[in-house]
Structure 1
Amino acid sequence: MKAPTQESYAARAAVFKALGHPSRLLMVDALAKGELCVCDLTDLAGLDVSTVSKHLSVLREAGIVDSRKEGTSVFYRLILSCVPGFISCVDAHIKQTALARVANLG
């Protein structure tokens, strides 16, 4: 197996950076359940179309989502299939850490 390069670390960092915003995580979580149009994501996030489009652009540039146009609507889908598992892992860690803190207080 080939050793990671600075370029591969930079590519990894770009994915983590793209996931590093609460609104983008919310959108990725929703897209893990299936394809959605920008209008659905706008309603879900409670943000304006321009802001949602910018967030989706960041996710697309990082290779996390892809889009397709149908008439005047743009639909997005998750293409980095490991993200939901990673998010579940992070959620489990957060829960475990919180439980440990509570146990240490008692």
Structure 2
Amino acid sequence: MVVEEQIVAMKSDFFKALAHPTRVRILERLARNGEEVCVCELIEDLGVEQSNLSQHLSILRKQHIITSTKVGLKVMYRVKYPEVLTIMEKVQKILAQQFQEGEALMRHLADS
């Protein structure tokens, strides 16, 4: 049972790492062209301070969601596992379905 609890805790930590708008935006930016992205590009694209971005990147790295490589003076980031992007795509589909269901409910209420 202890191992199962550890696995559940690891899953929870993984999802917690995704549970911040800035980190979602980081992943969406990294997914955009599938290539490594420099920190300087992330700062510019996301409009966040370097210190704030570093904290978010650290959380994503700690959960092994992203990985980095140093190229000269630049640190380049990429999504480590493509499955993370699949999860994000699935969430997008779920949200679209929820939106459609909400619209249908609103139409039904308006017609009542």
TM-score by length of 1: 0.91
Whichever of the two has the greater Rg, that structure is 2
Instruction: Give a deviation string over 1:45-96, Cα, whole Å, max 9, x none.
Output: 1001111111100000001011111222111111022111111111111111
CA distance in 1, matches of 2:105, 2:87: 27
Q: Which runs of 5+ in 2 are unaligned?
A: 108-112
* Residue equivalent to 1:43: 44
* Residue equivalent to 1:27: 26
Q: How does 1:54-73 map to 2 (within 5 A)?
A: 54-73=55-74
Q: How does 1:82-93 map to 2 (within 5 A)?
A: 82-93=83-94
**Count of matched residue positions in the alignment of Structure 1 and Structure 2:** 103
Q: Report the residue type matching 1:72 in the other structure.
A: L
* Residue equivalent to 1:101: 102
CA distance in 2, matches of 1:27, 1:34: 13
Matched, 1:6 2:5: yes
1:31 Cα deviation from its structure 2 partner? 1.3
TM-score by length of 2: 0.86
CA distance in 2, matches of 1:82, 1:70: 25
Q: Secondary structure at the match of 2:48?
A: coil
CA distance in 2, matches of 1:101, 1:67: 40
Q: Report the residue type matching 2:9 in the other structure.
A: A
Q: Secondary structure at the match of 1:82?
A: helix
Q: Report the residue type matching 2:55 in the other structure.
A: K
CA distance in 2, matches of 1:88, 1:50: 28
Structure 1 stretches of at least 4 aligned residues deviating more than 3 Å after TM superposition? none
Which has the larger helix fraction?
A: 2
CA distance in 2, matches of 1:20, 1:68: 24
* Residue equivalent to 1:15: 14
